[in-house]
Every structure is written in C-alpha cells, then in structure tokens.
Copies of this chain bind each other. A is one copy, B any other.
C-alpha cells in the first residue's frame, strides 16, 4: 500500500481534468489518464465507476477548482463594490487562458451533455459557481449574467485561438479580455 485510495483518487482526478480538457471525453482513453496519474488502467476502473464516473467526478473537481480561483481573485478586491469584485473575479478567470485546463474542461463537458449524468454535473457545477459569484460579489442578476456571458466568450476565444488572429473581426471579439 503505497498510498490510500482517497489520495489516489485525487491525483487521478487532476490527471483526468487535464487529459479530458485536451482531447475530450470520447477521444481520451482511460489509459491516457492512468498513465498521466502513474497507475494502471485497471486500478482507475476500481477507483471510479467506469469512464463516465471518472468524467463526472472530474467535472466536480473542475468546478471546485474554479470556485477557488474566483475566490482568490475576489480576495484581491477585498469588500469593495459589486463592480470591483466582479472585475477582480473576471481578471482571475481570464488567467485560465494561460492554464487552459479548467476552461477547456468546461467546453468538453458541455459537449457531452447528451449524457444525462454529465448534464446534471454541469448544472450542479454552474449552480455552485453562479451562486458563489452572486453572493460573494453582491451583484445584480443582470451583472451576474453579463459575467457569465463574457466568460463563455472567453471559451470561444481560447478554443478557436482568436488571441493569435490579428484581423479586425478577431480583435473586436477579444478586446478587453485580459490575459497574463
């Protein structure tokens, strides 16, 4: 026994978020996750209920980490007004353009919502994030909605690689989106 099952699950989930973020649910073999986590494929299947169970658990971990990122960002704004806190959270979220895992995983999860378990996990995740943003910032419904709208735009920018496109239409879409 080198490690407890619970600790293994945590490292596997980190590997899973990264792997699924890059190649998506169906194109990511469990072998790849197992290799990234440094254990055998068979043991991954003992730790999680099938590939789907692994993906759903990874979704939970992903949204958990997103809340942590936003919380850290909000901390930098202290207890200023809603606009300032939202702005700080936006900056924090924009940092995910560099460390793409959390951003891309959401895109991948949205693409598998034809599987009911995944759809449920996505709803649960956004519920966590939305209620946190709302309560931590004290912003209005419309402001929260705008926050998520531009967050989703961020997903498009990253997946399509629009930061690299110098043409005017792409500059218009990426304007004001700050990255580190």
A interface residues (Cβ-Cβ under 8 A, vs B): 22-27, 107-108, 110-114, 119, 122-123, 126-127, 130-131, 134, 141-142, 144-146, 148-150, 152-153, 155-156, 159-162, 165, 167, 169-173, 175-176
Quick check: B24 and A162 within 8 Å, CB to CB? no
Q: Is the interface of A mostly helix, strand, loop or mixed?
A: helix
Query: In the assembled complex, which residues on chain B have CB atoms less than 8 Å from the CB atom of A156?
Result: 110, 126, 148, 152
Q: Indicate if the CB atoms of A113 and B169 lie closer than 8 Å.
A: no
Q: Are B144 and A114 within 8 A (Cβ)?
A: no
- Given A111-B107, A111-B111, A112-B24, are A119 and B160 also a contact pair (CB < 8 Å)? yes
Complex Cα distance, B144 from A126, in Å, reads 26
Contact check, A159 vs B127: say whether CB atoms are below 8 A apart: no
Minimal beta-carbon separation of A129 from chain B (angstroms) = 9
Q: Separation in Å of the A24 CB from the closest CB of chain B?
A: 5
- CB-defined contacts of A134 to chain B, threshold 8 Å: 169, 172
7 extra A-B contacts, CB within 8 A, seeds A110-B160, A122-B159: A24-B26, A26-B26, A107-B107, A108-B111, A123-B170, A127-B169, A152-B153
CB proximity of A32 to chain B, nearest CB, Å: 13
